[in-house]
Structure 1
Amino acid sequence: MTTDNRLPVISLFSGAGGLDMAVDRVADDFGSSATARVGHGPLRVAVATDYAQQAMDTLALNLSETPTITRDIQSLPTEELLEVGGISEGDASLVIGGPPCTPFSKSGFWLAEKRESRDPNASLLEEFVRVVAQSRPESFILENVQALTYKTHRAHFERLLAALRELGYNPQWKVLLAADYGVPQLRKRVFIVGRRDGKAFKFPEPTHGGPSETSKKWDETKLPHVTAGEAFRGLLTSSEPGELVEGKYGELAAEVPAGQNYLWHTDRYGGRDEFKWRSRYWTFLLRLSPDKPSSTLQAQPGPYVGPFHWENLENEQGLMRARRLRVPELLRLMTFPEDFEYAGTRADIQRQLGNAVPLELGKAVTRALMLQLGHLQPVNEIEMDLLKAAA
């Protein structure tokens, strides 16, 4: 019988396993995770849980040695997590998880319970704290949408940080832009990281730079953001059922140029005067630009919510139509491995990926933590500087 000496990790709200794969491949070189299942680092996911069976099926296809539990976390005792993972209190090197972000997402923000931060699912943050308190891991990584830090939800956020401080973990938080870490996507997420020894975690410095939706200035000494065109280079795909944008706005979507959205069809641009200025959400009829990173991939987009590909294709009537992104393209934008397997339909995988942490972003945070805990050794000057700054 072979003994696995890798450090155990408890994964909560695992979903499709973006953070789980980051844990598994934390020692891989940047980008190598896209083409090969390596995973020879210091960590292993000892147990993973989520309430969605389909997500657990997807995770099992890609991390076949990881035991999974499909259940609402509110009815899952920490003792059972430890038992299934074959670990005791204090053994886990890391607890990871991204509690469902729906309560804090801008999507559906018009709902009163979201505006007023009264969504009952907010208590899932407390479940994360409960597992940390009872399992006493060496460290934790919690990921969520940027909106958790907004004034509207500040009470939840401050209560979360206070609870983690009370446990002695000295939580540090930062909103990170995925594109700044080599992900071809302008996706912002907040990460909260804490250590049992109380030492402050130092977040990794960005490796890439470029303009974003909210900033036109950046550090030009960094590598440039990876564009969607670069991400798709050399990728061979085939058509997928339902990929063409048809229906009420199908013709209008096909006329929107790359990098533009519905605003093209207002009186301020060159399209048809169909919409009032800023009357729709920004992703309505949005087309990717091959020269920029993608906008955030939506987990449950409506039929006219992009980003759509910049190319048009003919439908059965010979009319040009915009097309949705294909699964291999979604994987590239998430920096997921090309051999990633998933359970469910194309819509199911979009939902799973839209809720996931981009692999290279997850690796950047996890690797920085493992370096500072001494479980990895620095391999370049950037990592040596990070350790000096964290000392």
Structure 2
Amino acid sequence: MKKMNFIDLFAGAGGLSEGFVKAGFEPIAHVEMDAHACKTLETRNYYYSLKKANKLQVYYDYLLGNISHKDLSESVLNRLDNVINASIGDDNTSIFNRIDELTKGREVDLIIGGPPCQAYSVVGRHRINKLEADDPRNLLYRQYARFLKKYNPKVFVFENVLGILSAEEGRYFNNIKVYFRTLGYELESRVLNTSDYGVLQNRKRVIIIGWKKGSDFSYPELIAESNPYTVADILEDLAYLKPGDQNNITNYASDTNEYLEKSAIRNGADFVTQHVARTHNDRDLEIYKIAIDKWLNNRERLKYGDLPERLKTHKNQNSFVDRFKVVDINSYSHTVLAHIAKDGHYYIYPSTEQVRSLSVREAARIQSFPDDYYFEGGRSAAFKQIGNAVPPLMALKIAEEIKGSL
């Protein structure tokens, strides 16, 4: 059978794409404006090419630092350069031209992606008080629609934050539905929580799925699954870290477990990369200790106003009072956001034995990325990519159901 294909818009680090690739879809092109994320996508492409050629040791050599990224790319035969580092906007001619070269006359089966969501997020609207009518991010759905109009896919998947439903009292979301329908698509939206699909994180997102009018396709039945695992299953096999530890390569501290096997987070290599911790000053470490003690012993969240005066640095004690938050080791994590790239206060490691914030690898695991997924650009860039990503395990479930329906 012909392998179904897709174009990935606003691709980020490739979380949504990863799910579709694992479900058996072939990526035609990834379009992304962030250079670090594009390099991450390229590296992941090389992983799949080398895996297909039974040459994964070359990829592992790159992760271990034995060869350069240039050496890695040159080791891939018949390399397909399908990552387009460009900003989707009013003039997409160069992007269209490159995609046309990559399609080689093939029909496009799917378009997937989620435009940047800051303009729709509740936090984003709080900061600017209202959704600016002239904010260009509000109209990125129209740019997404231009790709639908040009490539006419059978199905599209559009992911975004819950705030898109309520922005401007629902006007923007209604505009999206009306606009997509004028292009010949039926569509339906649902709010999905990633914890229902194997991800150890409470992360609710709006998933719009559209299909050509007149087809017998319908929104797939995404049945919530039992998820008895906890964040403890993610953390237990990773090495002890002190704040500031920058050992990019570490050995696993223990054997694998049922969740790591079932989720394929541990999937072959006998080492783990990017288990690195940011440095914290003494004041923050003291605050972390207080927050950890409250949470582990009393299941109480630290309120900023309750801190001793000597530890306070903000005069505003009414907004963002929970700016210090410990990850729940006995359940699912709270939502991982791109803000984790700025500081780790909202993602404190849940143990008095390791007083620090989450490592890059721990955050990636909470997002369900496999351990052999490498995020390019350094620690801050990696955190940003991880926080913005669609969890691959949820993407896999969506992709499998769409594949079954098609």
Query: For the superposition of Structure 1 and Structure 2, which TM-score range results when normalised by the shorter chain?
Result: 0.7 to 0.9
Matches within 5 A, 1:248-287: 248-257=283-292, 258=295, 260-263=300-303, 266=306, 279-281=318-320, 283-287=322-326
Q: Is 1:204–2:222 an aligned residue pair?
A: yes
| Distance change >3 Å, CA 7–CA 132, structure 1 → 2 | same
Indicate whether 1:19 and 2:34 are aligned. no
TM-score under structure 1 normalisation? 0.76
Displacement after TM superposition at 1:122 (Å): 1.4
Identify which of 50, 66, 70 aligns with 2:32: 50
* Structure-2 separation of matches of 1:305 and 1:109: 22
**Alpha carbons 2:40, 2:376 under 8 Å: kept:** yes
2-structure distance, mates of 1:312, 1:245? 15
Q: Does structure 2 retain, via aligned residues, the 8 Å contact 1:237–1:328? A: no
Question: RMSD between aligned alpha carbons?
Answer: 2.7
Aligned equivalents of 1:304, 1:21: Cα separation in 2: 26
Q: Structure 2: 5+ residue runs without aligned partners?
A: 47-79, 247-276
* Residue in 1 that maps onto 2:145: 129
Does structure 1 residue 107 correspond to structure 2 residue 123?
A: yes
Letter in 2 for 1:23: F
1:234 aligns with 2:252: no
State the Cα distance separating 1:235 from its structure 2 match: 2.9
1:182 CA drift (Å): 1.3
Q: Distance in 2 between matches of 1:261 and 1:348?
A: 28
What is the CA-CA distance between 1:81 and the residue it aligns to? 4.5
Distance 1:114 1:260 in 2: 32
* Cα pair 1:245 1:303 within 8 Å, conserved: no
1:256 is paired with a residue whose SS is helix
Tell me if the contact between 2:305 and 2:321 (Cα under 8 Å) persists in the aligned partners: no
Residue of structure 1 in register with 2:384 after alignment: 351
**What does residue range 284-323 of structure 1 map to in structure 2 within 5 Å?**
284-301=323-340, 302-303=342-343, 305-312=345-352, 322-323=355-356
In 1, Cα distance between equivalents of 2:344 and 2:109: 43
Moved over 4 A (4+): 271-278
Cα 1:145–1:247, aligned 2, differ >3 Å: closer, same or farther? Answer: farther
Q: Residue deviations 1:58-90, cap 9 Å, x none?
A: 01101234611111111323632432322447x
Confirm or deny: 8 A CA contact 1:103 1:117 kept in the other structure. no
Question: What's the secondary structure of 1:366's corresponding residue?
Answer: helix
Label 1:151 to 1:336 Cα distance change in 2 as closer, same or farther (>3 A).
same
CA positional deviation for 1:102: 1.1
Indicate the residue corresponding to 2:101 in structure 1. 84
Distance 1:8 1:290, change over 3 A: same
Q: Is residue 328 of structure 1 aligned with residue 310 of structure 2?
A: no
Q: CA deviation at 1:303?
A: 3.1
SS at match of 1:183: coil
What per-residue deviation string (whole Å, max 9, x for no partner) do you get for residues 5-32 of structure 1?
4222111101100011111002xxxxxx
Does the 8 Å contact 1:261/1:282 carry over to 2? no
**In the aligned structure 2, how far is the partner of 1:66 from the partner of 1:187?**
32
- Which TM-score applies when normalising by structure 2? 0.74
- The residue type equivalent to 1:97 in the other structure is G
Query: Secondary structure of the equivalent of 2:370?
Result: coil
Structure 1 residues 229, 176: closer, same or farther in 2, change over 3 A?
A: same
**Residue 255 of structure 1: how far off its partner (Å):** 1.0
Mapped to 2, the partners of 1:245 and 1:47 lie a distance apart of 40
Letter in 2 for 1:364: K
Is 1:372 aligned to 2:405, yes or no? yes
Contact 1:46-1:66 within 8 A present in 2 as well:
no
Q: Deviations over 1:81-133 (max 9, x none)?
A: 432322447x1111011101111122333233644555221121111011011
| 1:58 maps to amino acid | T
**Structure 1 runs not aligned, ≥5 long:** 27-40, 209-222, 315-321, 374-391
- Which has the higher mean CA deviation after the structures are superposed, 114-123 or 291-300? 114-123
- Aligned partners of 1:294 and 1:364: how far apart in 2? 20
* Residue 60 in structure 1 maps to residue 42 in structure 2: yes
**How many residues end up aligned between the 2 structures?**
328
SS at match of 1:186: coil
1:245 corresponding residue in structure 2:
280
Rounded to whole Å, the distance in 2 between the matches of 1:365 and 1:351 is 24
Q: In percent, how many aligned pairs have the same letter?
A: 24
1:340-383: CA deviations, max 9, x gaps?
A: 1121111111100100000111111121111111xxxxxxxxxx
CA distance in 2, matches of 1:280, 1:313: 30
288 and 170 in structure 1: CA distance in 2 versus 1, 3 angstrom threshold? same
